[in-house]
């Protein structure tokens, strides 16, 4: 092999390692002060809907908002903030004196399950070096958070994001 071929192979290997360490996430808000990230490879779609489009079903866990007709399929919609121990969406909106009739639903696929997670606000796509995701049991105050979160990530702008495991959050919501 020539030196040029070896150099080219090394660059290819380094580039592959770089891409393996960088992952894209969707940022969103669990409440006014806490942002979180979901991996984009599991996202199907994000829609902004009126709350009246979500059909409530009584007798379910408080975090389950109801069902929503998404592209002809009936999908469960879960208040992600409530599921993770934060104040429910309606309580957050009431406290901010901005009682809105809309929310964003993030549709996520995990294995053969599709579920919708309702959040108040969606941010942007963030590229994150997964080796910089930090974990700490002290960060996660309840069992759902411990199971659902991969850790937290500190952005270059000194913002702290919870990094949510898409498969784990679907499993928790499906129970």
pLDDT at position 143, please? Answer: 78
pLDDT at position 174, please? Answer: 79
Per cent of the chain over pLDDT 70 is 80
pLDDT at position 94, please? Answer: 53
| Residue 19 domain-assigned (yes or no) | no
| Residue 9 domain-assigned (yes or no) | no
> Do 137 and 151 form a contact (C-beta atoms < 8 A)?
no
| Residue 32 domain-assigned (yes or no) | no
Q: What is the pLDDT of residues 46-73, one digit of tens each?
A: 999 998 999 999 999 989 999 999 999 9
Distance in angstroms (rounded) separating the CA atoms of residues 51 and 136: 35
pLDDT at position 15, please? Answer: 43
Cβ-based neighbours of 65, under 8 Å, separated by 6 or more? 54, 56, 77, 78, 79, 89, 118
| Residue 131 domain-assigned (yes or no) | yes
Does 88 or 142 have the greater pLDDT score?
88
| Residue 8 domain-assigned (yes or no) | no
| Residue 62 domain-assigned (yes or no) | yes
* DSSP-derived secondary structure for 73-107: EEEEEEEHHHHTTSPPHHHHHHHTT---SEEEEEE
Q: Which domain holds residue 111?
A: 37-174
Does 9 or 123 have the greater pLDDT score?
123
Give the mean pLDDT of the chain.
Answer: 83
3-state secondary structure 53-69: HCECCCCCCCCEEEEEE
Q: What is the pLDDT of residues 123-173, one digit of tens each?
A: 999 999 989 888 865 556 677 778 888 888 988 788 889 999 989 888 888
pLDDT at position 17, please? Answer: 47
Per cent of the chain over pLDDT 90 is 47
Number of compact structural domains in the chain: 1
pLDDT at position 149, please? Answer: 86
CATH number for the domain spanning 122: value is: 2.40.50.180
> Do 3 and 91 form a contact (C-beta atoms < 8 A)?
no
Reported pTM: 0.80
> Do 93 and 120 form a contact (C-beta atoms < 8 A)?
yes
Tokens 């975090």 sit on residue = 63
């Amino acid at each position: 092999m020539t030196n040029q071929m070896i150099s080219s192979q090394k660059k290819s290997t380094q580039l592959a390692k770089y891409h393996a360490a960088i992952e894209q996430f969707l940022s969103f808000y669990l409440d006014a002060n806490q942002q979180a990230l979901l991996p984009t490879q599991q996202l199907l779609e994000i829609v902004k809907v009126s709350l009246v489009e979500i059909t409530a079903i009584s007798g379910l866990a408080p975090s389950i908002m109801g069902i929503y007709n998404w592209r002809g399929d009936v999908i469960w919609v879960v208040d992600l903030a409530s599921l993770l121990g934060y104040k429910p969406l309606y309580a957050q909106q009431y406290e901010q004196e901005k009682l809105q009739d809309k929310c964003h639903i993030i549709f996520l696929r995990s294995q053969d399950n599709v579920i919708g997670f309702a959040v108040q606000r969606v941010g942007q796509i963030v590229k994150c070096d997964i080796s910089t995701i930090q974990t700490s049991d002290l960060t996660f105050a309840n069992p759902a958070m411990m199971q659902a979160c991969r850790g937290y990530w500190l952005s270059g702008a000194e913002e702290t994001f919870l990094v949510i495991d898409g498969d784990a959050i679907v499993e928790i919501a499906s129970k």
